[in-house]
Structure 1
Amino acid sequence: MAVPHFDPADLTRAVSDTLSVRRVFGEAYERDGTLVIPVARVWGATGSGSGSGQVGVPADAEGEGVPAGGQQGDGGGGGYGVHVTALGVFVVDGSGARWQPALDVNRVVLGAQLVGAVVLSTAALAWAFRRR
């Protein structure tokens, strides 16, 4: 039975294809004489490792493997992750180019929750001090 061999170059090629400028600047399209170019923030991380050794081989006094019925083993693996966030679009028309930012609803909601928490905490502290 053949064991698949891990090739770090394959992982590097996959990451390179994924983290390309095409992910940052999307496919431009034209509508009613206006060119729209989508823009995103892209970041990624990758990691890999490999190793080999003898399985089932006892060590002698010096810590060296004694080749008495052991098996050679190899292994490796890797992976990567990518995070893409839409930032907005460049709009190019007869009057020039302009930036249209994307509205991140999650940030708006998180900001409102933080403001609400600060206001409620301040009100609770003011009420506690006033009560003393």
Structure 2
Amino acid sequence: MRVMDVVNEAKGAMRASEVFGTPYEKNGVTIIPAAKIAGGAGGGGDQAQPQAGGVGFGVSSRPVGAFVIKGSDVSWQPALDLNRIIVMGQVV
């Protein structure tokens, strides 16, 4: 795989459509889930041996909450990250 192929795959995984989930509606209330996405890429090689080297990328995501739309009112409901609460409780 070429370096630019890896970069293009990483860019595709970190677009706005991946941050906001598919809206769904029930009983007149629309929910739009949202996530935080982070990623990075890197690579290296040797000029003396052009085929020697490597590239890679990683992407992670986690839910952060949802927009709740009811009539003309819009509110934000943050996601509860129980693991983060437990870890922070242990640190304190």
Q: Indicate the TM-score class for this superposition, using the shorter chain for normalisation.
A: 0.7 to 0.9
1:10 alignment partner in structure 2 = 5
Name structure 2 gaps, 5 residues minimum: none
Q: Which runs of 4+ in 1 moved over 3 A?
A: none
- CA shift for structure 1 position 36: 0.7
Aligned-partner Cα distance in 1 for 2:53–2:88: 43
Query: Match of 2:21, SS?
Result: coil
Q: Give the structure with the higher percent helix.
A: 1
- Equivalent pairs counted in the alignment come to 92
Name structure 1 gaps, 5 residues minimum: 1-5, 55-72, 116-132
For the aligned residue pairs, the C-alpha RMSD in angstroms reads: 1.8
- CA shift for structure 1 position 52: 4.0
Aligned match for 1:78, one of 55, 64, 68: 55
What CA deviation, in whole Å up to 9, does each residue of 1:89-122 have, x standing for no partner? 000111510000110101211222233xxxxxxx
Q: Give the structure with the higher percent strand.
A: 2
Which structure would you say has the larger Rg?
A: 1
Q: TM-score normalised to the size of structure 2? A: 0.85
Letter in 2 for 1:83: S
- CA shift for structure 1 position 23: 2.1
The 8 Å contact of residues 89 and 102 in structure 1, kept in 2 or not, is answered as yes
Q: Percent identity?
A: 37
Aligned-partner Cα distance in 2 for 1:74–1:52: 9
1:25 alignment partner in structure 2 = 20
Q: TM-score normalised to the size of structure 1? A: 0.62
Aligned-partner Cα distance in 2 for 1:50–1:20: 28
